[in-house]
Structure 1
Amino acid sequence: MTIQIIAALLSLGLSSIPQSSWPLWTSYANHFIQEDGRVVDPDRDDLTTSEGQSYAMFFALVANDRARFDHLFLWTVNNLAGGTIETTLPAWSWGKKTDGSWGIKDTNSASDSDLWIAYDLIQAGRLWKSPVYANTGMGLLKLIAEKEVSHVHSFPILLPAQTGFEHDGMTVMNPSYMPLFLLQSAATVQPEGPWGAMAASLPSLVRGGTAAGFAPDWIKIEPDGTMSSTPPLDLSTEQATGSYDAIRVYLWAGLTSSNTHGRDDLLKALSGMTSYMRTHPLPPEFVIEDKPEVRGDGPISFSAALIPFLQESRAPEAVAQQKKRLKDALSTGTGLYGQPPRYYDQNLAMFALGYTEHRFHIQSNGELEVPWQR
């Protein structure tokens, strides 16, 4: 029923694309989003991920771009969830398959994207006064709790996906998949769910898996409750790092309201990055967690992601350096960052700059606040 209602609105022209007042979003949509609502990553053979869809839905909501939000959601449901997102978690990747056809490449889910989509829908339902969106988001949130949440030593953990992250009593989790404000929002609208306990335990989880104040990409929890950083899926041949996933841990902490319980504990747990950025002009691309040792300079997305975090950590000189890097990287031709503009760079930049430019604010209960709301 949800899909039919939204599709009907689109067919009647009741959801038309307005001129957005957010230039970066307009440039991003023109470059990365097809007319049918599919977000495309040119650097990955035009791959589409549930992450890309979920982020774009958030930015469309911030920009009050109802028509594009509708298209993004419809494409996601029809192509990643088989038309029934109320009962089927979205597949995480869609693109060109080995036989040359286009479709789902991996049916496993990505819980962070699922949580973002639920949040987008619930907030869209509230801000646009759409019970259809709100109810769909609530249904998806319950599905996430049923299929992607595990309990480890009596506290709930958001597994990265439906399958593949529990082995012989050990659980592997990704701290960037659990933004504190998303958990607070979920706890607000579904207090009977696992979300409040998950939010309360997040700072200790991050602290337990963090070496010298640098966020890891992955954390493993042993059967006895011991926590440590780990390579992806606990591959023993690789080193545990903090890199392209972990950079979002800082970003989410920076976007979290200062009045949110646990926010300050997160900033303290991540203070190693703050100290590093006070004396270095660029963020590291990799942090080898067990040393810790930094390697390489991070791309423009890393600088963008750290701006809210450093701002909330009271490191104004470091903030100014990263803002200058972004300004210098902005292309007047595309209106995007970098040459060529890359998908991940733009997404983290939109989160960071949308926040610092006061295009959105997230309240302590997780509710999205935007200037255009009535």
Structure 2
Amino acid sequence: MTIRRRDALAAALLGPALSALPAHAQTSLGGCMPMGDWTSFAARHIQPDGRVIDFDTPQQHSTSEGQSYAMFFALVHDDRRNFERVLAWTEFNLSGGSLAQRLPAWQWGRKTDGGWGVLDPNPASDADLWIAYALLEAARLWDEPRYRTLGRALLALVVREEVVVLPGLGRMLLPWPKSLGKGPVWRLNASYLPLQLLRRFHQEEPTGPWNEIATNTVRMIGATAPQGFAPDWCGWSTEQKAFVVDPDKGATGGYDAIRVYLWAGMLSPQEPARATLLKSLYGPRRALEKSPAPPEYVDTGTGITRGTGPAGFSGALLPYLKAQDATAALAAQLARIPLDLGGTAPAGPRPLPYYERMLLLFAQGWLDGRYAFTKTGALQPQWRPACPSTRTA
């Protein structure tokens, strides 16, 4: 077992005694920190020019989501070189040269004519939030004012183009620009709305819509999880003045919703809405009392599950299970995570897909104490030298 997994398992089993320590000290108590997951991910997925590739797609595409997450993890690991080159590629290729003037296109890759470029110019608001967050926190942690200027400009674009007042609800972030939205049912996605980010934006812009959006997000999750499971998508009906089943995707929870549990699990214990969210999202914990693996899909209206979730789902649930003090389930999910995530061993298994790797980077990094979030959403990275024995996954 690697140092990374040994320390995480120790954190799970030590329980309350360990939780009394500072967040960054709960899982890695030595003089160095494991970095192998990030370095192997960057070596495989980040190209020299800063493009983050999802190799498991026919178009070998890159997404604004992938670029945003890579910026976040570069900051978590004090990796300024990768942060800057990922930012530069994103701005030039997805925003026409200026993130301050244009929200990034969500998809770029191989076109049908064999060329390369933007495949879908529409933005995705979750990526827009993560890019803005990474810029604001990089400005603070690295003392780089130009990042704050750019982050604030991007956030202003988000408010102008992606925040809408929904009758009967109030201000809310749409998954895409409001020019693409339409009533009487407005489509929403809880996984696009990490409460940590909304709290941080409120600190940056106290007169902005962020606290109202956070309140509405908590309300949305509670209203759309009758069996304790979050759906991938939902809707707000302006006629019923209520949250409803998404008209296109139905009540299924799967590859989007898995992030809702991840974001909730990583909330600061001082976050006022944390207990409410965890109480609303009891479904995965209950499911793992009966099964060794999380379901791949669930009908959130009935609670009926199908399929076995991949290793990335187990990873995404680690902070959630830690927050719920579900020690046995946490240990069981850790055991499902491959030791060689990136296929670094010559005869090892096929590398995990991009999305699973990202879920594991979030969850394992948090569990290992590489970073935490404050109650106001600020990032608390733990920058220490990398452990030499964990430079490969």
TM-score (norm 1): 0.89
Q: Which residue of structure 2 aligns with residue 281 of structure 1?
A: 292
Judge conservation of contact 1:149–1:157 (CA < 8 Å) in 2. Answer: yes
Distance 1:297 1:329 in 2: 20
How has the CA–CA distance of structure 1 residues 207 and 165 changed in structure 2, closer, same or farther, with 3 Å as cutoff? Answer: farther
CA distance in 2, matches of 1:286, 1:161: 24
Report the alpha carbon displacement of residue 371 of structure 1 after superposing the two structures with TM.
Answer: 1.7
SS at match of 1:182: helix
Give secondary structure in 2 for the equivalent of 1:105.
strand
**Normalising by structure 2, what TM-score?**
0.85
The CA distance in 2 between the partners of 1:262 and 1:247, in whole Å, is 19
1:165, distance to aligned residue in structure 2 (A):
5.6
Give the superposition deviation at 1:198. 1.0
Query: Could you list the per-position Cα deviations for residues 146-186 of structure 1 after superposition, in whole angstroms to 9, with x for gaps in the alignment?
Result: 11011112521110011576333221100000000010011
CA–CA separation in structure 2 for the residues paired with 1:86 and 1:131:
14
Query: Which amino acid in 2 is paired with 1:301?
Result: G
Once structures 1 and 2 are overlaid, which stretch shifts more, 195-204 or 24-33? 195-204
Are the counterparts in 2 of residues 94 and 105 from structure 1 also a CA contact under 8 Å? yes
Which amino acid in structure 2 is aligned with residue 75 of structure 1?
Answer: W
Partner of residue 245, structure 2: 229
Q: CA deviation at 1:334?
A: 5.2
Deviation of 1:269 after TM superposition, in Å, equals: 0.8
Q: Structure 2 matches for 1:62-77, cutoff 5 A?
A: 62-77=76-91
1:311 aligns with 2:322: yes
User: 2:271 matched to which residue of 1?
Assistant: 260
User: Structure 1 residue 218 and structure 2 residue 196: aligned?
Assistant: no
1:1-374 to 2 correspondences below 5 Å: 22-44=35-57, 45-152=59-166, 153-163=168-178, 166-223=181-238, 224-230=240-246, 234-235=247-248, 239-327=250-338, 330=341, 333=344, 339-372=350-383
- Paired residues of 1:217 and 1:229 also in contact (CA < 8 A): no
Q: Report the Cα distance in structure 1 between the residues aligned to 2:100 and 2:49, rounded to whole angstroms.
A: 21
Share of identical aligned residues, percent?
Answer: 42
Asked if the contact 2:264/2:320 (under 8 Å) is kept, the reply is: yes
Distance 1:338 1:121 in 2: 36
Aligned counterparts of 1:331 and 1:138: Cα–Cα separation in 2: 35
Instruction: Quote the Cα distance in structure 1 between the aligned partners of 2:171 and 2:270.
Output: 23
CA contact (8 A) 2:341 2:352 kept: no
* Alpha-carbon distance between aligned partners in 2 of 1:54 and 1:192, rounded to the nearest angstrom: 25
Kindly indicate whether the alpha-carbon contact (under 8 Å) linking 1:62 and 1:359 is maintained by their aligned counterparts in 2: yes
User: What is the distance in 2 between the residues matched to 1:117 and 1:155?
Assistant: 25
The answer on whether the counterparts of 1:94 and 1:106 sit within 8 Å (CA) in structure 2 is yes
| Cα-to-partner distance string for 1:105-164 (whole Å, 9 max, x where unaligned) | 111000000000000000000000000001111111111011101111252111001157
Partner of 1:7: none
| 1:82–1:363 Cα change, 3 Å | same
1:16 equivalent in structure 2: none
Which residue identity does 1:225 align to in structure 2?
K
Q: CA RMSD in A?
A: 1.8
- Cα-to-partner distance string for 1:21-51 (whole Å, 9 max, x where unaligned): 6111100011111000000011013100000
Instruction: State the distance in 2 between where 1:119 and 1:261 align.
Output: 21
Q: Aligned in 2, Cα 1:354/1:41: closer, same or farther, shift over 3 Å?
A: same
Q: Secondary structure at the match of 1:279?
A: coil
Q: In structure 1, how many angstroms separate the alpha carbons of the residues matched to 2:349 and 2:216?
A: 37
Secondary structure at the aligned position of 1:206 is classed as: helix
8 Å CA contact 2:258–2:316 kept in 1: the answer is yes
* Aligned partner letter, 1:228: V
How many residue pairs get aligned? The number is: 348
TM-aligned CA deviation for residue 329 of structure 1: 6.0
1:118 aligned counterpart, secondary structure: helix
Amino acid at match of 2:40: S
Deviation, structure 1 residue 263: 1.2
The 3-state SS of whatever aligns with 1:286 is strand
Compared CA separation, residues 282 and 136, structure 1 to 2 (3 A): same
Higher relative contact order (CA 8 A, sep 6+): 2
CA distance in 1 between counterparts of 2:178 and 2:295 reads 31
SS at the partner of 1:361? strand
Unpaired segments ≥5 residues, structure 2:
1-32, 385-393
Q: CA deviation at 1:304?
A: 0.3
State the secondary structure of the residue aligned to 1:156: strand
Alpha-carbon distance in 2 for matches of 1:164, 1:290: 30
